A and B are shown apart, each in its own frame.
Chain A
Amino acid sequence: MPSLSLHPSYVFSLRSEPLLPNAPSRLLTSVFISFTRTSRPLRVSTREPNFTEEYRNDVVNGRVAGAGAPAREDPLPEGLRRESMPRHVAVIMDGNRRWARARGLPAASGYEAGLRSLRGVVELCCRWGIRVLTVFAFSSDNWVRPKVGFSSLIFFVFGFLVRFLSVEVDFLMSLFARALRKEASNRRDIRVSLIGDSTKLPKALQKLIESVEETTKNNSRLHLVVAVSYSGQYDIVQACQSIALKVKDGLIEPEDINEFLIEKELQTNCAQLSRPDLLIRTSGELRLSNFFLWQLAYTELFFAESHWPDFGEPDFIEALRSFRQRQRRYGGQDP
């Protein structure tokens, strides 16, 4: 096996069209692209990265803000009012690769730019008092089954995929740590949770996620929920399976099953506010792509034309202004 590795600056692949026709999956495509377009040397590191240790060190050394930091909300921009701000915003971070392609850059640059954009939005949410921010990083639909006949190539590349993903998240986590360190003087504190089928992620990554969730669980400024390998339909199915187990064990009757029970079993129960008030999808695509189905029952949807790396403060303000003008009736009387 040749020695190859991926530069830690590659970040999550997000939904967009495959760049190569007939490519088995978008992530594999992005790996191929990085192969062909990057000028950086590719080496496989033989050391299993220990993200958990590095992250714990950051916590111990006070580089990650802890609980008890007082809330400090900045004044809102022109046209926004605190009482009409959404409390939970969800974002589908779409268009990183298209953004890169439009500039003749490799996909990796698109992801890096996307991450900068995410950091910016997290920052704005903290400043403007938004309590929960959910970001759709990676859909379970992105784990595409490889076609028969590709098997050996897939094994070869899958090894990359695993390292690719873990290096990406490592980068993401260390980026959060760095960002938090930078903001330590303002004493912002962010609670991080992950939703989705984490069993598909590498073990080291799962441990890191558990560690981060544990360390940040008492932070209360902003709850950042990252959806990785998540699917709205899968979430409902797993909630149903949990309920079915309870029925089997005689804890509840089938007739007792109601919306409240289901809501408790969904993966979004980790957040105090599980239903988003506002969903933003970038790059002009007018669909939900199997993200948050149950939770979007009364959510206001906003479709932004710009790609995710270009989504900055003005675009966010536009989305919030649009939200402010919505008349939310929930099917009932006029307000």
Chain B
Amino acid sequence: MGEDRFFGSSLTILRRFLFRILAVGPIPNHIAFIMDGNRRYAKKQNLEQGAGHKAGFPALMSMLKYCYELGVKFITVYAFSIDNFKRRPEEVQYVMDLMQEKIEGLLKEESIVNQYGVRVYFVGNLKLLNEPVRVAAEKAMLATANNTNTVLLICMAYTSSDEIVHSIQNSCQEKWDQMQASKVNGACNGDICKQEKERCAIKLVDLEKHMYMGVAPDPDILIRSSGEMRLSNFLLWQSANCLLYSPSALWPEIGLRHLVWAVLNFQRNHSYLEKKKKQL
């Protein structure tokens, strides 16, 4: 028992030392994860249906811990896609129950939220979730609203297409209301009309303002486990210039070495990308 603890603390010290070395170079501000491969893991380990998702949870906690220790401020995870509602109802229900249980766990004293001062956001079309999960999510967002150290964005009932549609709807609605208001406010004469037209035209910043993910900067690295090389309708808008990394490890098998590899690659490309951003 004592040996285990000694071994554990040595690993922690080694890890912290490794992070110190990495921190000599630029550290990503925002990392996003697609937690893929839980079902394949369950099949591989001959676990029962649905147990793969449960096995993925400790992997998530470890990755969050490593990222926050490294100094990453924003982490986004793709927990449940709108497309996932197409799966078998039992599996969907299992995942919903699991998420509810884990969300409620986040608010406990010893959880990672309090350890690292994490502010939690639930990002997506929350109206599509069932009542208990939505209530738990809203409670968690409220409870962590005053935390300022780090941010965790959990994407539930999310797809990028839905986010963009929602953003366009809201932008159009906002501009429509603005236009109606300016009509009410009085007669239009020449120049003022033109200015109003300018103001009412939808621009990139308007769309970004209305995105669910507008509370965080764009991700620097997007990590998808299980070796699949696709985005699956996740952060399409925000991943315009981020590094894409797809280790072949299934999500429950993901570890520190994958994170380190991703960060090293990020550091390699960082100076070129910064130069490009300045030019724009």
Contacts and interface: CB of A to CB of B under 8 A. Distances in A.
Interface of A: 17-18, 24-25, 141, 144-145, 232-234, 236-237, 240-241, 243-244, 247-248, 254-255, 257-259, 262, 285-290, 293-294, 296-303, 326-327, 330-334
Contacts of A141: 276, 280
Contacts of A244: 171-172, 175, 201-202
A297 B78 CA distance: 14
Interface stretch (B68-76, B84-92, B116-124, B252-260): B84-92
Contacts of B164: 236, 262, 294
Contacts of A144: 279-280
B87 A332 contact: yes
Contact of A258 (B165, B201, B240): B165
Contacts of B240: 232-233, 288-290, 293
A333 B87 contact: yes
Which of A248, A286, A296, A299 has the most chain B CB atoms closer than 10 A to its own CB? Answer: A286
Contacts of B275: 18
Given A237-B202, A248-B176, A330-B86, 4 more contacts: A240-B168, A240-B171, A287-B244, A300-B229
Interface stretch (B1-9, B14-22, B230-238): B230-238
B51 interface: no
Interface residues of B, number: 51
Interface in B139-197: 159-162, 164-165, 168-173, 175-176, 179
Contacts of B231: 296-299, 301
Interface in B215-272: 228-233, 236-237, 239-245, 265, 269, 272
Given A236-B207, A258-B165, A297 B86 contact: no
A110 to B, nearest CB: 18
Contacts of A232: 236, 240
B24 interface: no
A16 B222 CA distance: 21
Contact of B244 (A248, A254, A301): A301
17 contacts: A232-B236, A232-B240, A240-B207, A248-B179, A257-B169, A259-B165, A262-B161, A262-B164, A287-B241, A288-B240, A288-B241, A293-B239, A294-B161, A294-B236, A298-B232, A299-B230, A333-B88
Nearest 6 interchain pairs by C-beta: A331-B83, A332-B86, A290-B240, A297-B233, A301-B229, A254-B173
B276 A331 contact: no
